[in-house]
Structure 1
Amino acid sequence: MNKKLIKGASIFAVTGMLWVTNIGFVEACTSVLVGKDASEDGSTMIARNEDMGTAWSKHFYVREANKNEKKFESKGNGFSLELPKEQLKYTATPEWDVSEGLYEEAGINSKQVAMSATESTTIKESILEIDPLVEDGIAEDAMLTVVLPYIESAKGGVERLGEIVEEKGAAEANGIAFSDNEEVWYMETLSGHHWVAARIPDDSYAVVANTITIQEIDWDDSENYLYSKGLQEFITDNDLTDNLEEASMREIFADTADDSQYNIPRILSGQKMLTDSDIKIDDETFDLFQKSDNPITARDIADILGSHFNDTEYDTFGGEKSDAFRPISVPNTMESHILQIRNDVPEEISGIHWLAMGVASTSNYIPFYSGITETPKEYQEGTDEPDQTSAYWNYRTTNALTNPYYNEFKPELVMPVQEKVWGYMYKSVEKIDKEASKMLEKDSKELASYLNKETQEMSKYAMKEYKELNKTLLKKLTEKTNVEHNEDL
């Protein structure tokens, strides 16, 4: 992963925004999780910005069923695992260069179960002295690949990954989101072999940002909380709390040294976008589960993932304290996804993998139905060198051209195109839902080819709009070039 950081440095010069402040290099992620009763249409949603490199393409594929190897072995750290014989079809967003690991990150399988992995966290050194991380244990590069194709529910995802962590160990501290049409679960690794998971209440949402967030749990409520075998004994035997029943996993396990500057402001700013409250961005505490003032849509989540303390003194585009806190949206977002499982359409078309390549604030989310069997060619292209054809570099270019004059270019040039494309996508989903539902009443054999075709059209439309936008941005950018000369000549 380090080579992403090195290669990423080139884009900062292009954008004119040096995002390496006293906060450090922004190499982390932000997640939003929404219960079914908190959403506008009764769907569950899990979403995340994948932040690491500014010049590092992500690809998007459909992994066919039963094409897996018998044994998985990570190219990153040597983690290995025997895999079940049967594998479900699933969507995935791997690296363009998999020499150091797949990092498939996010997807929906054919049972309409979604997974997003991971939200990097940190653990207290005192905990790791007792139960160290395992060098060849499971890490982010392998998680989606060895879990998502083999689960039939969100809770089942927690249980499968939990068993792997207990048996093989965890190489990193991570948070992982799972969802199906009924439930949303958030799981956190707490040490080399221990973990905890909480079910997001149906009427609530959560914003998570690179810190262990699960607090008090009900040890006897397996409908809403799961945890590793022996976790209670681990806590009590090592005198990690005086009151196990009211113990906070966050207080016991989290290394919170950077939270007040790096993590909590993102959590609170995301919450303030959905829930009116008197909390301040610089507060140092938070409640994980929140209730929104209004039903939450995919667009609402997109706004959160594209936010940067907008119109506050902490706004990273011109605020008086713009370098005080790490924002949600940063130039090194490689892709952003919203995994939506709906309950108001037939199961076969219930899953939508909304995918925005590059930085969410200047990109658009394209709705890829989980029932597709292939992705557009432009989503299978792109390296660490800019090109004219890949989806990644098309949307990445928009961000690079916008950032030098963000406060002017974003509202005047970028937002009108975003609104136009969002409108097209919503109308397309409405049309596809109707046609696909009719198709399912007769014969589902043609469904996949129909979804493939419609997905291609949506991608083609958005790519064209953004290529035209990039031409306009480039012209406007060149007009801003200062030219000094002797006016008498």
Structure 2
Amino acid sequence: MTVTKQELSACTSILIGKKASIDGSTIIGRNEDAKSAWPKHLVIHPRTKIPNHTFTSNDTGLKLNLPEVAYKYSATPEWTDKFGLFEEDGINEYGVAMSATESAYANQRVLGADPFVTGGISEEAMVTVVLPYVKTARQGILRLGQIIQEHGTSEANGILFADQDEVWYMEVGSGHYWVAQRIPDDAYAVVANQLAIQEIDFEDPDNFLFAPGIQEFVAQNHLNPHPNGFNFRQIFGTQTLSDEIYSTPRVWYGQKMFNPEISQDPMSEELPFIRKASRLLDLKDATDFLSSHYQGTEYDPVGQGSSTQKHKFRPISLAKTQEAHVLQIRPNLPPAIAGIQWLAMGVAAQSVFVPIYPGASDVHPAYKIGQEEYQPDSAYWIYKHVGVLADAHYHEFMPLVKEVQEKLNIYYRYEVHASDIQALKLEGQDLTNFLTEKNITWQAKGIEAYQQLSHKLITLATDKSPLNFKTDANL
């Protein structure tokens, strides 16, 4: 089996404040996009206590001393740790959600003053060395920021954090400098492989965090192209034709979904980072965004536009999505129940977001297996298989996929609501056992539905051969 080097994740992200959501949830989500055949697993790490605990990155060689106690947390690691863990997303026992990372680009001017550090922290390690050691979203930013200040980072990234009260977006723009902005409670943000944060208010610690000395660094190295203000995107980021083709159209489409009344250019470099939606946003709005590919526009790769239009922009949901996740922290519930990790294995547009209680202790066995080569009993490959079958006859087969998706979405909505009521009556090991049983039941339901769908699509595909011919039934 050939194992090739993991590529940077070229992802798309969404963040929704608690007053912008229909039920008061905080919501963060992201498509993890890297390779079209690169399985992900799902794990729930138990709380551990390890004296003299250390971490060494298989990616950059970074070595860290870790706190003795690691809190329980969920994660979606790679099928192989050869290039690092890439745990990517999860929720810990204190109800902190983290998604890392949204890969980005920094400009040459900034990197000439503070280049990336080859042996610094990278995407593959961030969830592993941060999420098990923090009790709030704000603590997550400060912990990761401290690591970056001390050890540097090897790449530009955006990192999503949320807890029951706050949603934060953190961006790393050079080897040692970063900023973070709290998403206003009544607002949302969508991000697509660009440094996105704009004006920083250094006198507002409730809504902005930043690396010590960043103002002095920018001033001493003459990095700010504007005489007034501190626009992080314009100081640290890039504004190129590549951005206008690859990144800004995805932001444009997300804002078009949630603010259809606003007319904008998909190639504009001036799209705002923060917006207030024209309505309250639901969990489904987040999953629909992560599953989208410019539907209803001439830019949809499977739509009605010209060949040039259909392939002009990079879509949000695409074949290189390894998994998509929405991390929902709901109000007025204890941490073991409040967090739901909605996980879609493979391509979001062709998969289904299955709910997981991180307060459980285990997951379905199919989520623990799957290698680079197709494996029929792996959850990743079961969902990926349906996508491959549907791709071959997209317009005929996708309605069948959508029918299964809709039925499962309704089932999961009902089940989460009913399970919350039962879970509130339990505590301790009884609660953990109940949540674990629900996880495995829900995951099994999705797996079974997609296996049956695969059987149906394979059967239908037998009559789609180019060697077919209409034969006389009497012969």
Please classify the TM superposition score into its range, dividing by the shorter chain length: over 0.9
Please tell me whether the aligned partners of residues 316 and 323 of structure 1 are also in contact (alpha carbons under 8 angstroms): yes
Runs of 4 or more, structure 1, over 3 Å off, are 2-6, 242-245, 484-489
Q: Given residue 281 of structure 2, which amino acid in structure 1 is its aligned partner? A: I
Please tell me whether the aligned partners of residues 236 and 244 of structure 1 are also in contact (alpha carbons under 8 angstroms): no
SS in 2 for 1:77: coil
Q: CA deviation at 1:27?
A: 5.3
Q: CA deviation at 1:242?
A: 6.0
The aligned counterpart of 1:123 is 106
Q: Verify: 1:273 aligned to 2:243, yes or no.
A: no
The aligned counterpart of 2:366 is 378
Q: CA deviation at 1:478?
A: 2.5
Number of aligned residue pairs: 466
Q: In the TM superposition, what whole-angstrom CA distance separates every residue of 1:208-243 from its partner, at most 9, and x where no partner exists?
A: 000000011101111100110110001111112265
Please tell me whether the aligned partners of residues 54 and 65 of structure 2 are also in contact (alpha carbons under 8 angstroms): yes
Select the residue among 89, 97, 109 that pairs with 2:72. 89
Q: CA deviation at 1:86?
A: 1.1
Select the residue among 410, 419, 435 that pairs with 2:422. 435
Change (3 A) 1:438 1:211: same
Select the residue among 146, 157, 168 that pairs with 2:151. 168
CA–CA distance in 2 between the matches of 1:419 and 1:267? Answer: 26
Q: Given residue 33 of structure 1, which amino acid in structure 2 is its aligned partner? A: L
Aligned runs of 1:220-259 on 2, under 5 Å?
220-241=203-224, 246-257=229-240, 258-259=242-243
Q: In the TM superposition, what whole-angstrom CA distance separates every residue of 1:165-220 from its partner, at most 9, and x where no partner exists?
A: 01000111100000000001100111101001100000000000000000111011
SS in 2 for 1:115: strand
The aligned counterpart of 1:446 is 430
Change (3 A) 1:153 1:300: same
CA–CA distance in 2 between the matches of 1:84 and 1:332? Answer: 35
Please tell me whether the aligned partners of residues 355 and 368 of structure 1 are also in contact (alpha carbons under 8 angstroms): yes
Q: Given residue 380 of structure 1, which amino acid in structure 2 is its aligned partner? A: K
Q: In the TM superposition, what whole-angstrom CA distance separates every residue of 1:61-101 from its partner, at most 9, and x where no partner exists?
A: 01111155711000111011110111100001001110110
SS in 1 for 2:29: strand
Q: Given residue 220 of structure 1, which amino acid in structure 2 is its aligned partner? A: E
Aligned runs of 1:63-82 on 2, under 5 Å?
63-66=45-48, 70-82=53-65
Q: CA deviation at 1:445?
A: 3.0
CA–CA distance in 2 between the matches of 1:184 and 1:166? Answer: 22
Select the residue among 163, 168, 173 that pairs with 1:190. 173
SS in 2 for 1:84: coil
Q: Given residue 354 of structure 1, which amino acid in structure 2 is its aligned partner? A: W
Q: Given residue 80 of structure 1, which amino acid in structure 2 is its aligned partner? A: K
Please tell me whether the aligned partners of residues 274 and 294 of structure 1 are also in contact (alpha carbons under 8 angstroms): yes
TM-score normalised to the size of structure 1? 0.92
Please tell me whether the aligned partners of residues 265 and 282 of structure 1 are also in contact (alpha carbons under 8 angstroms): yes
TM-score normalised to the size of structure 2? 0.95
SS in 1 for 2:424: helix
Select the residue among 425, 443, 466 that pairs with 2:412. 425
The aligned counterpart of 2:92 is 109
Q: Verify: 1:368 aligned to 2:356, yes or no.
A: yes
Segments of structure 2 that go 5 or more residues without pairing to the other structure are none
The aligned counterpart of 2:316 is 328
Q: CA deviation at 1:4?
A: 5.2
CA–CA distance in 2 between the matches of 1:36 and 1:131? Answer: 36
Q: In the TM superposition, what whole-angstrom CA distance separates every residue of 1:364-383 from its partner, at most 9, and x where no partner exists?
A: 11110121111111100100
Please tell me whether the aligned partners of residues 98 and 127 of structure 2 are also in contact (alpha carbons under 8 angstroms): yes
Q: Given residue 218 of structure 2, which amino acid in structure 1 is its aligned partner? A: I
Q: Verify: 1:55 aligned to 2:37, yes or no.
A: yes
Q: Given residue 251 of structure 1, which amino acid in structure 2 is its aligned partner? A: Q
Change (3 A) 1:26 1:474: farther
Change (3 A) 1:421 1:245: same
SS in 1 for 2:393: helix
SS in 2 for 1:246: coil
Change (3 A) 1:225 1:381: same
Select the residue among 457, 465, 474 that pairs with 1:481. 465
Q: Verify: 1:315 aligned to 2:300, yes or no.
A: yes
State the identity %.
43
SS in 2 for 1:37: coil
Change (3 A) 1:96 1:230: same
CA–CA distance in 2 between the matches of 1:244 and 1:202? Answer: 31
CA–CA distance in 2 between the matches of 1:244 and 1:237? Answer: 14
Q: CA deviation at 1:5?
A: 7.4
Q: In the TM superposition, what whole-angstrom CA distance separates every residue of 1:108-134 from its partner, at most 9, and x where no partner exists?
A: 000000100000001111211111100
CA–CA distance in 2 between the matches of 1:67 and 1:92? Answer: 19
The aligned counterpart of 2:16 is 34
CA–CA distance in 1 between the matches of 2:53 and 2:161? Answer: 24
Q: CA RMSD in A?
A: 1.9
CA–CA distance in 1 between the matches of 2:406 and 2:353? Answer: 11
Q: Given residue 19 of structure 2, which amino acid in structure 1 is its aligned partner? A: D
CA–CA distance in 2 between the matches of 1:26 and 1:151? Answer: 26
Q: In the TM superposition, what whole-angstrom CA distance separates every residue of 1:237-285 from its partner, at most 9, and x where no partner exists?
A: 1112265651211111112322100000001101111112212323332
- Larger mean Cα displacement after TM superposition, 300-309 or 279-288: 279-288
Q: CA deviation at 1:26?
A: 9.9
Change (3 A) 1:300 1:139: same
Please tell me whether the aligned partners of residues 76 and 89 of structure 2 are also in contact (alpha carbons under 8 angstroms): yes
Q: In the TM superposition, what whole-angstrom CA distance separates every residue of 1:27-75 from its partner, at most 9, and x where no partner exists?
A: 5100000000011110101100000111111000011111557110001
Change (3 A) 1:429 1:486: closer
Q: Given residue 309 of structure 1, which amino acid in structure 2 is its aligned partner? A: Y
CA–CA distance in 2 between the matches of 1:343 and 1:349? Answer: 10
